[in-house]
Amino acid sequence: MSDALAAIDCGTNTIKLLVGDPADEPDGVRRESRMIRLGQGVDATGRLAPEALQRAWAAIDEYAGIIREAGVGVDRIRFCATSATRDASNAADFTAGVRARLGIDPEVLSGEEEARLAFDGAVRGLTAAAVEVHGPALVVDIGGGSTELILGAPTTGPTAAHSMDIGSVRLHERHVRHDPVTDDEVAAVVADIDAALDACPVDPAAARSVIAVAGTNTTIAAGTLGLAAYDRDLIHARVLPVPDVLAQVDRLLVMTVAERRALGWMHPGRADVIDAGALIVARVLMRLSVDTVTVAETDILDGIAWSLVS
């Protein structure tokens, strides 16, 4: 696989790998995902925690082995880091560790570049699944540290994008101290979300179609669909009524972390912070002027991969 490529998306909660050529999806592509919680404590301390870095090194060492086995050259690897490393004062330590393991420097994406790649990955993935995306299309990318709203035309790309410092890990760590979350904690999380959305120059109501991407959205979609277990193929390109998604959010908010972990479609590493993430989903959906949302399993990782072949 000497002509293969490797794309890595390192976010606040998850680090994901795609090896292969996105044009060969699904048979010619290998995907891996590890929950590392790189953004642990960053909102409060401004630094990447030593234990979070150790989790990152373990995952990157594993990915380096997969990349070597696939025969990917250094010039065909792109490692993109997002919210946690943008905010960390010791980001240089992270850069040095990645360079030692992969032979390349990670790119700490700006919010605007992160948005462009997420839009491209989402729209290409739905187009490949024969889904017609009407413009203006809004991609809603909810991560652990930030949330991106990207509005654009399916054929020409984003026309407006904004990255907000609201994410599932960031807001959970900032406000949630009880299990399950209390009404006061919900109100505090919602206040931060609404303040960010009020200040956001991208208006969700302007969208004719809405695409929900990344782990918080796809996990909630799995629950909304009533799946027994998480299944990427059953989630991708599904169109969900907004009221059904909001009802799923309400169900998650009254559960304990243990109850969420017992759900067959819930990744254990997401169960504690899904409360704040679900509230972001809900507050965005409540501002839409459409009554359905399309879920895409392709996202910024796919955008990174396409950038290596475009």
| CA dist list (Å): 6 to 19, 65, 94, 122, 148 | 4, 12, 19, 18, 24
Helix boundaries (H) for 129-263: 168-175, 183-199, 215-224, 232-235, 242-253, 257-261
Give the residue extent of every domain in the chain.
5-109, 124-301
> What topology is assigned to 124-301 in CATH?
Nucleotidyltransferase; domain 5 (3.30.420)
Confidence label for 110 from pLDDT (cuts 50, 70 and 90): confident
Question: Which residue bears the tokens 């570049």?
Answer: 113
| CA dist list (Å): 258 to 41, 174, 221 | 22, 21, 20
Do 5-109 and 124-301 come out as alike in CATH topology? yes
- In 3-state terms, the chain is what percent helix, strand and coil (to 5)? 45, 20, 35
Angle between helices 274-285 and 183-199 (to 10 degrees): 50
Identify each DSSP E strand in the chain by its residue range. 5-10, 14-20, 29-35, 77-81, 107-108, 137-142, 147-153, 157-164, 209-213, 239-241, 292-295
Whether residue 271 has pLDDT greater than 80: yes
**Cβ burial, residue 201 (10 Å; 0-12/13-18/19+):** exposed
Instruction: Write out pLDDT tens, residues 241-251.
Output: 999 999 999 99
Architecture of domain 5-109: 2-Layer Sandwich (3.30)
Q: Are 174 and 193 in contact (CB under 8 A)?
A: no
Whether residue 83 has pLDDT greater than 80: no
Instruction: Write out pLDDT tens, residues 22-58.
Output: 888 777 799 999 999 998 988 899 999 999 999 999 9
Three-state DSSP state, 34: strand
For the chain, the average pLDDT equals 94
Q: Which amino acid is at 40?
A: Q
